[in-house]
A and B are shown apart, each in its own frame.
Chain A
Amino acid sequence: MNENSMDYSVREYIKEIGKRLPEWLKDKKEHKEILADLEEHLWSKAAELSETGQPDEISVKLAIEHMGTPQNIAKEYKRRGEPKYYITKELWPYYTRALGGVFAVIVTLVVIGLIVSFFTGNGSFESLIGGLITGIQSGLLISFAIVTIIFVALSHEGYFPEDFKSKKDLELMKELREKEIEDGVSAQPLRKPLKPFIKPGGTIVGGGIGLIFGIILLSQPFPTYMLLPDFIAILRIFGLITMLEGSLDISRGILGNRRPNTHQALHVILIPLKLSVIPLLGILMNHPEIFPFFSEPWIHVGIPVEFYDEYRAILSVIIAITCLTTIENIYNIIKIQKYK
């Protein structure tokens, strides 16, 4: 082996390592630096192993053997991050967020599909509910599998969240890190931890109940012949509103205490949705005669005129409560601002 063939062996070996380095490193300046370091290391080792102190045919071969296979060397660069099951601790929050986001999209799409099917008259109520459950179930399972496979693969390759950030963001992070170091080793900002702004479990259960109640009012799987058509129409609209509110609450529950911006946007959508109930209650107030009030056997007679005042008072209280719940949404929008 002459000098050229020694060079060739080293070059080929380094090239092989380069090919096997993780993808997130390949576009970076460090990629070249790592290979230059390893090449230099190889030549130093070969020089030491040689009897003359100068790398030769045998010592280069030995040095390559000592350094190990390119796969083994490259493998260490992929070992980044703390293992947490099969997904690294660094990627774990992004994994749960991705799952939450995808689940929310799937639930929304399936519910929209159900509404469309209902209004186009495709299928009975039972088949629609069956379709809803199957759709959500299979959608969640498939998306869970896909998202998990992607994140396991990314963890295996040693990706970190910052590998997906723009150069501008990385520069900003670097500046902040340097500032932290300048401020001292133990200079940790003391900040009182904020309480979680949402109880995900309760919100999902509440949203689920709202969703089911809304579906029942919308599809009306009960005898309606004794109700007046105007009241049936009001019930349907009310069901649709309740269903949408329930879906939004489920989405908020799935998001949990993350993405404050999305939470705020959902609260903004919830306000007009809640207020849209008031005109319906207004119609009921002005037309007490359409409210179901039966005499035996299931004959609609309407509320007796002497009870109109009480009836209107109850509806007024419901309107006031509705308005108060929208104030709660506004309060939440302000409160969540602190979590950004």
Chain B
Amino acid sequence: MIQKPVLPKNWVAVGFSQDLEKGQINIVIIEELELVIWRDHKGQVHAWDNRCPHRGTRLSLGFVRGNQLACLYHGWQFGGDGQCVYTPSIPDSTPPKSLKAHTHRCVELLGLIWVAPLDFEHKDIKGLESHLRDSMDFQPVRSMIIHCSAENIFNRLASIPFPPSRIMSRRLRSISNMRLIQETESVFLWEDDENRTLASYQFREIQPGFFQFNCESEGTADVLLFALQKIDSQKTALHLLLAPENWSSDPISLKLAYAQWSKKLRNQLEQIF
């Protein structure tokens, strides 16, 4: 039998809060450990091992009722703390305290859902916010799954510059027509037949798996945040957030433009080399 996977000893972002509504269930994998992530009707988010203690059925197939997650197989219901509270085939009996789902720490910050081992405290991650300037208004762009190892992504992300928002605002879908020329290690030129825009980039790791990519271009500053979620040795989820110089009069188009650009990023990262 294979070694059971365990959660790494750090906070891992697994998706955006806005992508998990009340009563919704998701399945995420962190370093081969399968988790069920679900939001109860009070709004609280939970992360558990994706396995019902009864017959090993994936809890992610189940359903949310009130503030409980039920397994699809026999309808066993588990409260927010993982405790089984109801077994419908013997409806009048109280399940023993030992009958529990295996739970993990799960909090929301910066619009992301974060998971960590149970002994981690929320205050351990709240410090993350202080790393980022207060004036930055971060919004989710999208989550994506990339067929590339987390290590390769980490090594290559800094060398794939993102378009400055001033270009995106002007030419939302024609970035593909632009040539990207590297001038120095951190300075790139975005050019097409009509315009030449210089941009200077800075990339740093804020904490394991969480990176900040700054872009300064002709007086404007944009920030992209990448949260990496290692799924397994060949697959990684990337959650992108954006804080542009300003959100402009059409934030939706700007978000859409970056969501479309991120597919190019994915393609580049997935290129077999």
Q: Do A and B bind each other?
A: no
B-side residues, CB < 8 A to A, are none
A-side residues, CB < 8 A to B, are none
